[in-house]
Amino acid sequence: MATYMIYQRNNVNIDHINAKPNGVYAKAYFALGMPTTDTVEDAVSDAIYHEMYEPTMLMHDDTDGLRTPFEAIFDEGNGYGNGTITSHDICRHPSMSVGDVLVDLTRKQTHVCMPTGWHDINVNLQLDYNPLSNIPTVA
């Protein structure tokens, strides 16, 4: 058994990107569109710094939990899971895609969705909870 928190870029200021398409904020956003193994860690860190990520889903795997079932998590996050993963929406969210972050809360590992597959990353995500908004945020 394992539990996963999914972070997605839900907190993006599109007006800011349009106003300064070559600015630091826009570059941080666009870097996650097609990351490579050489750039992904910095791209995720920059997006976290600019507060683009927020937790959107909590998933639970009832199988033996010996490995992270990336394909099943991706399928569940896109609405066509096979039932091996239970998903709970934290807030309204898009389907899973490149740049989304999966935190394995059981193993304390972090992975990012890549154009092909997943990549282990070493980032520190701290979840803050404001009871007035009822939505956790990344600190």
The tokens describing 105, both together, are 């809360």
pLDDT of residue 138: 55
Which residues are registered as beta bridge partners of 22? none
Task: State yes or no: pLDDT of 110 exceeds 80.
Answer: yes
Q: Which of 81, 127, 85, 80 is nearest to 103 (CA)?
A: 127
DSSP class of residue 98? T
What confidence tens digit (pLDDT) does each residue in 6-52 have?
Answer: 999 987 899 999 999 999 999 999 999 999 999 999 999 999 999 89
Tell me the domain boundaries of the chain.
Answer: 2-138
Percent of the chain with pLDDT over 70: 86
- The model's pTM: 0.84
With H, G, I as helix, E, B as strand and everything else as coil, classify residue 134: coil
